Chain A
């Protein structure tokens, strides 16, 4: 077993990067001062590759659906970086740079801030799925010496579906109603849905949704 102290920080703005750290900032889609920043101690870690994830791109798969395009366009972003542990120069001189990167120890680390609205678990599920997919993709590219770390504000509590998805890759049955409710979840509309026999099952689940307030 080898031990190394990793020094990675995540924050929301790029204004407070301490000396000795290298930092990368990714602004939300649409600009503004919000975004994600990832910083690491440059004496310990070195960037190998990175992928900027714009979750708005999820909407491109649903161009024909106006409401899905609207729901999935929230401006959230994620950073995914492959960082290798800095080793003494002599250790790498015998290998080409690309091979050295893959055989060295490192991490694939991400930082994100998922969509905040508690009613939109559906959006956070898609964002989480994309994030894990990119993490896996980069990790596979880097090889077995780069385990994955995901940091951030996931806007999801440990008793909710997104945390469960991130840690188990499944959704508990009790959480499924959270994905059904339309954004404008008025109780009057729910009562109308519940009276329609053709959609009663979905309507019932929507009614359950209100108990999750």
Chain B
């Protein structure tokens, strides 16, 4: 029992250390890192208007039958024998003006006191860089997604020869990952 308690203490210490590091990492993230958005983030909404009704029905069935708790991204980008889900993305730089000043990077400041100063620093950084960000956005070339490649549905994968049920790869697909393609356009300021 004593050994288990010692191990538990060690693991708890590690968990607290890990949490402190996460807090530290997040403190500067919003001011220091670029804002990205997924090219497929509105795929399921757009597909409803763009794809044939049969495909949309299959897509909706996939959304309901799979374990995905999200909307927008495709229900899956990998379709292996043991697991399927969306884990592949094309992320493009998003407009910095989309920042919401009310957001804080530090979530559990009541449990890690050391992170309070980091949270304050993050808020201060955010306020100070707000104007710089707006100015930066106005002079930067940006990208917009004009088209994305349709991703297969379960029905499509099942119909492909050589696979085992929903399993990829098969005779048509050389990988258990789908191919994601986005057509991007530059927008000059």
Contacts and interface: CB of A to CB of B under 8 A. Distances in A.
- Do A and B make up one complex? yes
B4 A192 contact: yes
A20 interface: no
A4 B184 CA distance: 8
Given A169-B29, A189-B4, A181 B15 contact: yes
B92 A132 contact: no
A69 B135 CA distance: 40
Contact of B186 (A1, A165, A188, A196): A1
- The range of chain B's interface size is 35 or more
Given A1-B185, A189-B8, A126 B91 contact: no
User: At the interface, is chain A mostly helix, strand, loop or mixed?
Assistant: mixed
Interface in A17-68: 65, 67-68
Contact of A193 (B8, B25, B72, B189): B8
Interface string B8-20: 1101101111110
Contacts of A86: none
Interface string A114-145: 00000000100110010011011001000011
A180 B19 contact: yes
A157 interface: yes
Interface in B160-189: 175, 177, 183-189
Contact of A135 (B7, B22, B34): B34
Given A5-B183, A126-B25, A172-B107, A132 B34 contact: yes
Contacts of A156: 87
Contact of A147 (B21, B78, B92): B92
B107 A3 contact: no
A123 to B, nearest CB: 10
A157 B140 contact: no
A34 to B, nearest CB: 13
A169 B35 contact: yes
Given A125-B22, A129-B25, A158 B68 contact: yes
A144 B12 CA distance: 45
User: At the interface, is chain B mostly helix, strand, loop or mixed?
Assistant: mixed
Interface of B: 4-5, 7-9, 11-12, 14-19, 21-22, 25-26, 29-30, 32-38, 41, 68-70, 72-73, 78, 85-94, 103-105, 107-108, 111, 136, 139-143, 146, 175, 177, 183-189
A2 interface: yes
Contacts of B189: 144
Nearest to A136: B34
Given A180-B18, A196-B12, 6 more contacts: A4-B185, A144-B139, A149-B93, A152-B89, A206-B12, A206-B15
A155 B22 contact: no
8 smallest CB-CB distances across A and B, nearest first, come from A158-B70, A150-B91, A148-B93, A192-B8, A159-B69, A173-B107, A180-B15, A182-B11
- The range of chain A's interface size is 35 or more
B36 A147 contact: no
Interface in A189-213: 189, 192-193, 196, 199, 201-203, 205-206
Contact of A144 (B9, B30, B91, B141): B141
A203 B37 contact: no
B88 A170 contact: no
